[in-house]
Amino acid sequence: MARNKWSLGLITMLILSLILGACTTPKTPATAAPQPETPATAVPQPEPAVVEPVTIQYWSNGWFPSAIDGRKALVDKFNKENEGKVQVEYIQGDWSTGETYIQSGAAAGGGIACVMDWWSGGAIDFYSKGWVLDLAPYMTPERRALMIEEQWKARTADDGAIVANGTVLEEPLLMVHYNPVLLEAAGITPATVDKPWTWDELYANAKLLTLDVNGKNATEAGFDKDNVKQWGYIHRIDAEKAWQDGMFFAQGVQGESIVREENGKWGWFLNDKGAAAYNRFLSIVREGIAPEATIGLGGDTLEQMFVDGMAAMILRPAFAIPILHNNFPDFKFSSMPVPMDANQKVFYQAGGEGMVVTKNCEHPKEAADFLFWLMEPENSAVLAYGNGMLPATYEALKFEPFKSDPTWDIVRNYLDIAQIFTIPFNPNYLEFRDTVLGPTYVEFAAGNMTFDEANNIITQQAEEILNR
């Protein structure tokens, strides 16, 4: 009995042990040694975008080596200063194709250069046709100060739009270029800035320099006018120069524009002083100091005659200086002021050349920045000197290469005694100029009509054409 109780207790204890064991929480296994984390896979980042510099194309009408070289040098300088931001691409154009170039580009909606060389009156015409942009939004006081107000006015359309910057000016730039050896041989002292010749003195000296094959000059008895070997003085008288240079001298003494509007009507208003100057300018064949072949003579031929000793003096713009140096480096010549009376003012019209921004330009701000950069004095000096013309930024005359060239003292003197005026824009002026004014005065110069007859035709046609 006691044995049975012990056995029963033992069994009971075993059962309880099993039950308690089943209810006990098992031990947490030992924590494994920390393993190095696998680095997270890096998310690919986009490569920084490469920003290409803005490209501006520049259509240039530079037409002789030093003019082209000066423009290209400035493009290179601008590109270095603006590397990575703006780059200018030089395109060689020419005057004869400019209008067709921009017109076709406007019709096609683009595909042409952003920047073009042109002249101020033509730029206003381009703007009126919707081919070029207004530069006024890019103007600053500092930029405005680079050129005098009259020159800005000559580049401003009726609605106030500034249609071009200023690079070089048409006037005052005419000079008398002479062969110092021939003048010295004739005992003639050249005119100077302090002692300019009058027209009477120019023609008198030119007669002394006009020599026949026997060595007699045009003032001596027995002079053979049909066998001249050296002419005293020649200037171009073709349809272009008959109006361009003739108006320079006539307006110089008249003191105002000959083509203008009076009492609401456009016309050709040539007064007595202007008529006398125009007549004298066109009379060099009559004076016996230039050959009949002068009528229609081109600039290249005139310069060749000068170099060959067939002409002692020639009237040419200042840009003939670099052309002569380029084409005839061994030829020695000098320059003097144009004829003028004592205490005379040099009256000249505002205008000249500049650059336009074409209508479909994709980067007009950068194009405008380039135009105004070119007007800064040290840059303007390079462009204008290479072109052989007066810089639109007068301060450029103080910079090289102008600074050390005494020839330009003539132009500096012109500016000291200058009075400027502006010719109002007339859309019919070009037609009048090219079809009436130039050709009619050529007919007078050739001896086919009197000056009064020529002037009457021009006056009548001006009234008709300019007021259409």
DSSP per residue, 187-216: T-PPP-SSSPPPHHHHHHHHHHH-EETTS-
Q: Do 351 and 119 touch, CB atoms closer than 8 A?
A: yes
* C-alpha–C-alpha distance, residues 166 and 172, integer Å: 15
Cα separations in angstroms, 401 against 64, 313, 353 = 18, 26, 20
Q: How far is CA 272 from the centre of its chain?
A: 34
Domain boundaries, the chain: 54-170+351-421, 174-348+425-466
Backbone dihedral angles phi then psi of residue 228, each to the nearest 5 degrees: -90, 135
Q: Do 200 and 194 touch, CB atoms closer than 8 A?
A: no
Backbone dihedral angles phi then psi of residue 173, each to the nearest 5 degrees: -145, -10
* C-alpha–C-alpha distance, residues 304 and 289, integer Å: 17
Instruction: Tell which residue, 376, 392, 468, has the closest CA to residue 140.
Output: 376
**Pairing, β 311-317 against β 228-234:** parallel
Q: How far is CA 120 from the centre of its chain?
A: 9
Would you tell me how many other CB atoms lie within 10 Å of the CB of residue 42?
6
Residue 156 has what DSSP assignment?
Answer: B
Residue 13 confidence (pLDDT) above 90: no
**Pairing, β 334-336 against β 174-178:** antiparallel
pLDDT band at 28 (very low <50, low <70, confident <90, very high): very low
The pLDDT of residue 45: 65
The pLDDT of residue 172: 72
The H or E element spanning position 303 is helix 299-307
Q: Return the residue matching tokens 């975008």.
A: 49
Which amino acid belongs to residue 342? A
Highest mean pLDDT among 17-26, 139-148, 286-295: 139-148
C-alpha angle with apex 73: 68 to 78, nearest 5 degrees?
125
Lowest mean pLDDT among 37-46, 107-116, 145-154: 37-46
* C-alpha–C-alpha distance, residues 227 and 204, integer Å: 20
The H or E element spanning position 142 is helix 141-144
Q: What is the mean pLDDT of the chain?
A: 89
- Secondary structure of residue 134 in the 3-state scheme: coil
pTM score: 0.78
Q: Do 337 and 410 touch, CB atoms closer than 8 A?
A: yes
- Give the tens place of pLDDT for each residue, 402-446: 999 988 999 899 999 888 877 777 889 989 999 999 999 999 999
What is the CATH class of 174-348+425-466? alpha beta
Q: Which residues contact 372 (CB under 8 A, 6 or more apart)?
A: 138, 143, 146, 165
**Percent of the residues in the chain that have a pLDDT greater than 70, as a whole number:** 89
* C-alpha–C-alpha distance, residues 328 and 304, integer Å: 9
The larger pLDDT score, comparing residue 13 to residue 324, is at 324
Lowest mean pLDDT among 321-325, 333-337, 373-377: 321-325
- The pLDDT of 207-233, averaged and rounded, is 96
**Percent of the residues in the chain that have a pLDDT greater than 90, as a whole number:** 75
Tokens encoding 437: 């004014």
Instruction: Tell which residue, 389, 346, 324, has the closest CA to residue 178.
Output: 324
- How many residues does the structure list for the chain? 468
State the burial class of residue 111 (Cβ atoms within 10 Å of its Cβ: 0-12, 13-18, 19+). Answer: exposed
Topology (CATH level 3) of domain 54-170+351-421: D-Maltodextrin-Binding Protein; domain 2 (3.40.190)
Q: Which residues contact 427 (CB under 8 A, 6 or more apart)?
A: 125, 128
**Pairing, β 265-268 against β 259-262:** antiparallel
From its phi and psi, is residue 11 left (phi > 0), alpha (psi between -120 and 50) or beta? alpha
* C-alpha–C-alpha distance, residues 260 and 264, integer Å: 10
* C-alpha–C-alpha distance, residues 308 and 396, integer Å: 34
